[in-house]
Amino acid sequence: MLIRGLNCLGLMGTSTFGGVELALIKTDGIDVIERKKAYVVPYTDYLKDLINSVYGLQKDSPEHENLLKNVDKEVSDFYIQLINDFKKDCDQNIDVVGIDGLTILHNPNIPYTYQLGNGRYIAEKVGIKVVTHFRNADICSGGQGTPISCSYFNSVAIDEVKPVAFINISGKSSITWIGSFGEFIGFDCGPGDNFINNWTAKHAHMENDYNGRLAIMGNVHEKIVNSLMHHKFFAKFPPKAAYTGIFADKAEHLEGLSLEDGAATATAFVAEAICYSICLYLPELPKKVIICGKGAANPTLVRFIRMRLPNIDVSLSKEEGIPIDTVNAEISAFLSARTLYSLPITFPSTTGVSQPIPGGEIYEA
């Protein structure tokens, strides 16, 4: 009997420091056949400090290269521990591990991309084939490098009424639009959780605005939101990717606001950027918008998006059977299968490459 698909463990180290996502799915790189087990493990404070010490650095000097190498080793050891713990708690055989490590720097204009996680070292230690660095081939081929999630969302949208749009809100926000005839486009549409988290970290010493509680108590300063929307990124036509730290200088517009008003205005900016992209850059308005990623767990952000899209059905991914907390780990698992089957993961309509290309680096156990 032909056994369809592979047991793929996805691991995603998020730049929001919400933790490392792990998800085991069965997939052939075309369909998600079965979801098996998933959870999130927090970063240690030690690792957070290490990662922050190199965040935004490029391998442009021996000093930076050594710093990144040391942090990569520490993070890879942490990933190894998580994978081994997952293996012990799971009665399923794992065929491959797909790792989309935390992004230290991504800038297609240089071009340069760097994610933590040494695939060869991890494969050697865990005894399982590893696929990692999904963006590198696209960047080397002149693409934007992100988003790489469009083939996954295309697979889970098979039963959705088209056109439909998936908004993946993590450190930044990206959109995948799937048309009535199966065509799809994807691009980064603006800031995500990091823009809100940076405000709460600076002014409240909180890692995030949990459940949008600060934002719901504040007032949105619409003039500031309008000013933030004058960023040149929003005038650029897709395909486009938001490079690391692209909106950091805009945070100064919030200074002088109260803690709650700043959180509310930052959250409104994220929502406005998403809705602006939906209304301006899609070939056709979607009949449904499905919000995924960490942002779907922020009810204030979701409410702001719904207010700006009154004539479109806006739902959360969990209502469609797609997990909120571990969707990006599922994407990593799905992409690892596509890599092993030599299927493309980026396309002219998503990253601007000249033709669909596969990606990912494969390391044998």
Asked if the model's pLDDT at residue 1 lies above 50, the reply is no
Residue 249, in any domain of the structure: yes
Q: pTM for this structure? A: 0.95
**163 band by pLDDT with thresholds 50, 70 and 90:** very high
Over its C-alpha atoms, the chain yields an Rg (Å, rounded) of 19
Segment 18-24 shows an average pLDDT of 93
Both 11 and 83 in one domain: the answer is yes
- Is the C-alpha dihedral spanning 32, 313, 278, 216 positive or negative? negative
Both 82 and 39 in one domain: the answer is yes
Both 312 and 336 in one domain: the answer is no
* Angle in degrees, CA 19, 24, 25, rounded to 5: 130
Domains in the chain: how many in total?
A: 2
**188 band by pLDDT with thresholds 50, 70 and 90:** very high
CB proximity list for 40: less than 8 A, separation 6 or greater: 18, 19, 20, 21, 22, 325, 326
Segment 29-47 shows an average pLDDT of 95
Both 163 and 273 in one domain: the answer is yes
Farthest CA pair distance, the chain: 67
* CA-closest candidate to residue 321, choices 8, 92, 34: 34
Both 36 and 90 in one domain: the answer is yes
- The rounded mean pLDDT for the chain is 95
Residue 197, in any domain of the structure: yes
The whole-angstrom separation of Cα 209 and Cα 198 is 10
Both 213 and 143 in one domain: the answer is no
Both 130 and 211 in one domain: the answer is no
**60 band by pLDDT with thresholds 50, 70 and 90:** confident
Asked if the model's pLDDT at residue 193 lies above 50, the reply is yes
Residue 192, in any domain of the structure: yes
Asked if the model's pLDDT at residue 249 lies above 90, the reply is no
Segment 348-363 shows an average pLDDT of 97
**2 band by pLDDT with thresholds 50, 70 and 90:** low
Strands 361-363 and 172-178 turn out to be: unpaired
Residue 198, in any domain of the structure: yes
Full 3-state SS string of 46-78 = HHHHHHHHHCCCCCCCHHHHHHHHHHHHHHHHH
Backbone angles phi, psi at 97, to 5 degrees: -115, 125
The predicted pLDDT at position 3 comes to 61
Residue 251, in any domain of the structure: yes
Both 177 and 250 in one domain: the answer is yes
Residue 274, in any domain of the structure: yes
Q: Collapsing DSSP states into helix, strand and coil, what is residue 239?
A: coil
Both 102 and 190 in one domain: the answer is no
- Going by the DSSP 8-state scheme, the letter that residue 360 receives in this structure is -
* 341 or 15, greater pLDDT: 341
- Give the least confident one: 2-16, 143-157, 167-181, 274-288: 2-16
Structural domain including 109 reads 6-147+326-363
Cβ atoms of residues 350 and 137 within 8 Å? no
**92 band by pLDDT with thresholds 50, 70 and 90:** confident
Both 161 and 218 in one domain: the answer is yes
The predicted pLDDT at position 244 comes to 87
Both 23 and 134 in one domain: the answer is yes
Q: Look up residue 342 and give its two tokens.
A: 């030599």
* 219 or 92, greater pLDDT: 219
Q: Look up residue 355 and give its two tokens.
A: 């033709």
pLDDT in tens, 274-329: 999 999 999 999 999 999 999 999 999 999 999 999 999 999 999 999 999 999 99
Return the half-sphere exposure (C-beta side, CA atoms, 13 A cut-off) of residue 61. 5
The predicted pLDDT at position 15 comes to 74
The predicted pLDDT at position 302 comes to 98
Residue 1, in any domain of the structure: no
The predicted pLDDT at position 17 comes to 78
CATH number of residue 161's parent domain: 3.30.420.40
Residue located via tokens 């991309």:
113
Backbone angles phi, psi at 176, to 5 degrees: -120, 120
Segment 334-351 shows an average pLDDT of 97
* CA-closest candidate to residue 19, choices 56, 60, 48: 48
Both 194 and 183 in one domain: the answer is yes
